[in-house]
């Protein structure tokens, strides 16, 4: 009974340490306790009882002595330096500094309190801290979800001198990271545009029909340029053929209708269809705003979530970024009728209306066809239908097994129906774009440049 009371007291003490001080036994202490545990089997023999109790007492004394050597929680502090704005799917760097004010060297394990949606790497690391010192480590993140994230703490695990105990310490360390759609593509576009290398991003140069008379910029001559546009003074000064670029002298309007319903929750290359759509939308918005056009957007699912009226100027780019960074898919059926009705009450001038969605059933296809066709006389509608790569992979897969043949036949039937939907849209005066979501940005920009060149607006 005495041994049982001792075990109960030890268990209660360990529970109290874990609950209030966040102190836990480490593996060496558990292995050390195995010795008296084995000897306690023979406590029924009088000659082993005294030896067992002495060993128990020795283990307890050693554990208590080592317990005193645990560092206090106040001897550590943490500070995190991280950029407040990150791009979806792009590497983001943070620096974590751990300060130690104790008198003994410590080896600690640190796990930063970064949400898993930001994919921190490494998730945990071990550092050695000398007396009254600090150490800085680099944490790399790769955000997989948009939105605002609050980073409030850092977890630290410190051991006692002999390693029998460990203490879990939560260090306050507040930071905020807002994950926006991919903004690196915007800076990449600007850099390539300055050097006339947009073809590297898949953006084609489109020959304009007619003559636009507003000067835009000077650039290097290419074989497709009209020799009448050569600026001979600049050519003589630079000793290199230089041509003038012209742009349309009227401001045109673009409104994006972005579907945030359940159909946009599917993923392609690690990102949802909505994420790919927002990336492409921001890319085209940046291009259009640089061209002097006005850009707006409307997000909807079973209701209208947000609406930005078309405006020009680069400040509109910031409004689009802030409006889209915390917009997520909802597992509901999208109401296209409400979206187009709301757009009709807000948008009266002729506008390029870009609907970005995914279609896999006839009900949604009929709604999209009906409402886009109604816009054809008043506005210029463009329906962007995102492909499902699994359908194309199923059609092109080798026919080694019987079930793969049936799968390919079903996928081919869906693709045939999808082609008919696109054909019907074209027949009713609706522009269409059928593309894989991860490849959406460049074809969408090319279609916009084609519309501008043909003066369809």
pTM of the predicted protein model? 0.72
Give the pLDDT score at 1: 46
Confidence of residue 296 (pLDDT cuts 50, 70, 90): very high
Task: Give 173's pLDDT tier (boundaries 50, 70, 90).
Answer: confident
- Can you tell me the distance from the alpha carbon of 283 to that of 441, in angstroms, rounded to the nearest whole number? 7
Residue 300: band (very low, low, confident or very high) from pLDDT cuts 50, 70, 90:
very high
Extract the tokens encoding 365: 């296809």
The predicted structure's pLDDT at residue 381: 92
Residue 236 CA, distance from chain mean position:
48
Q: How confident is the model at residue 209 (pLDDT cuts 50, 70, 90)?
A: very low
Return the higher-pLDDT residue of 46 and 125.
125
Tens of pLDDT, residue by residue over 382-419, are 999 998 888 888 887 776 666 777 888 888 888 888 88
In this predicted structure, the answer to whether residue 110 has a pLDDT above a threshold of 60 is: yes
**What pLDDT score was predicted for residue 307?**
92
Name the pLDDT band for 210 (thresholds 50, 70, 90): very low
Residue with more model confidence, 190 or 411: 411
Tell me: the pLDDT tens digits for 339-385?
999 998 988 888 999 999 988 888 888 888 888 988 887 889 999 99
Peptide bond into 122 cis (omega under 30): yes
| pLDDT tens digits along 334-345 | 888 899 999 989
The band of 298, judged by pLDDT with boundaries at 50, 70 and 90, is very high
What lies within 8 Å, CB to CB, of 277 at 6+ separation is 258, 259, 264, 356, 384, 386, 437, 440
The tens digit of pLDDT for each residue in 33-45 reads 776 666 666 555 5
Segment 122-165, tens digit of pLDDT: 888 888 888 888 889 899 988 888 888 888 889 988 888 888 88
pLDDT band for position 197 (cuts 50, 70, 90) = low
């Amino acid at each position: 009974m005495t041994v049982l009371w001792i075990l109960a007291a030890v268990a209660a003490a360990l529970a109290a340490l874990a609950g209030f001080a966040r102190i836990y036994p480490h593996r060496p202490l558990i292995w050390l306790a195995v010795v008296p545990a084995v000897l306690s089997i023979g406590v029924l023999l009088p000659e082993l009882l005294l030896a067992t109790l002495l060993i128990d007492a020795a283990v307890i004394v050693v554990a208590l002595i080592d317990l005193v050597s645990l560092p206090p929680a106040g001897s550590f502090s943490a500070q995190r330096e991280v950029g407040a704005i990150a791009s979806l799917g792009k590497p983001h760097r943070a620096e974590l500094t751990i300060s130690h004010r104790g008198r003994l060297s410590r080896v600690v394990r640190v796990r930063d309190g970064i949400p898993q949606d930001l994919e921190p790497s490494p998730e945990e690391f071990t550092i050695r801290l000398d007396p009254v010192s600090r150490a800085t480590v680099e944490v790399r993140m790769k955000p997989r979800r948009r939105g605002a994230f609050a980073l409030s703490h850092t977890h630290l695990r410190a051991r006692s001198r002999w390693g029998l105990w460990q203490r879990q310490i939560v260090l306050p360390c507040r930071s905020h990271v807002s994950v926006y759609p991919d903004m690196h593509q915007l800076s990449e576009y600007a850099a390539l545009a300055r050097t006339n290398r947009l073809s590297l991003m898949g953006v084609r140069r489109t020959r304009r029909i007619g003559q636009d008379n507003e000067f835009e910029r000077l650039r290097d001559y290419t074989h497709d340029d009209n020799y009448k546009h050569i600026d001979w003074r600049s050519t003589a000064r630079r000793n290199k053929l230089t041509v003038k670029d012209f742009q349309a002298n009227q401001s045109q309007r673009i409104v994006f209708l972005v579907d945030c319903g359940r159909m946009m929750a599917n993923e392609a290359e690690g990102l949802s269809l909505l994420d790919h759509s927002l990336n492409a939308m921001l890319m085209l918005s940046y291009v259009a705003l640089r061209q002097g056009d006005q850009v707006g957007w409307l997000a909807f699912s079973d209701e209208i979530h947000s609406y930005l009226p078309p405006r020009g100027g680069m400040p509109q780019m910031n409004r689009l970024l802030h409006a889209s960074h915390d917009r997520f898919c909802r597992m509901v059926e999208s109401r296209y009728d409400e979206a187009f009705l709301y757009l009709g009450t807000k948008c009266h001038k002729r506008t390029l209306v870009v609907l970005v969605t995914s279609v896999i059933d006839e009900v949604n296809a009929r709604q999209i066809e009906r409402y886009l066709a109604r816009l054809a006389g008043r506005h210029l509608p463009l329906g962007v239908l995102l492909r499902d790569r699994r359908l194309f992979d199923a059609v092109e897969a080798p026919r080694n097994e019987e079930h793969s043949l049936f799968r390919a036949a079903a996928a081919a039937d869906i693709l045939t129906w999808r082609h008919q939907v696109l054909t019907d849209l074209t027949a009713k005066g609706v522009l269409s774009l059928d593309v894989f979501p991860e490849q959406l940005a460049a074809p969408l920009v090319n279609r916009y440049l084609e519309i501008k060149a043909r003066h369809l607006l």
